[in-house]
Amino acid sequence: MQLDRYGVFHRQRILWAGPSETAPGLQQAHDDLWQWLSGYGLTPPTQPFRPHVTLLRNITHAEPPGDAPAPLDWRYDRMVLVASESLTGGSRYRIVAQTRPLGG
């Protein structure tokens, strides 16, 4: 996956990097998960699915700087579902589930 897009999640004050196009398999996994969750009466978020890597927290700028780094090829060997828990002074992340390494 190529990380070639940068942005800011304003409410969370996070600077992120992500792909300009979501891999079809990843989008399908997201859609399938929300289809399953609809059986519990949950509805998907209104904002688009945006896979990303958090670069900075507590960012004060509304937009990333104009001169972005060169695209980065991000290689991965599994998918991980992570729960983010807000704590005083920061966040804590906990792995909820993960796939086996690809090819393993």
Separation between Cα atoms, residue 9 and residue 89, nearest integer Å: 18
pLDDT at 92 over 70: yes
pTM attached to this predicted model: 0.68
Which residue type occupies 58? Answer: N
List of domains in the chain: 2-75 (3.90.1140.10)
| Residues 14-51 pLDDT 10s | 899 999 888 778 888 889 989 999 999 999 888 888 88
Asked whether residue 6 carries a pLDDT value surpassing 80, the answer given is yes
Q: Rounded distance, CA 7 to CA 90, Å?
A: 20
**pLDDT of amino acid 93:** 85
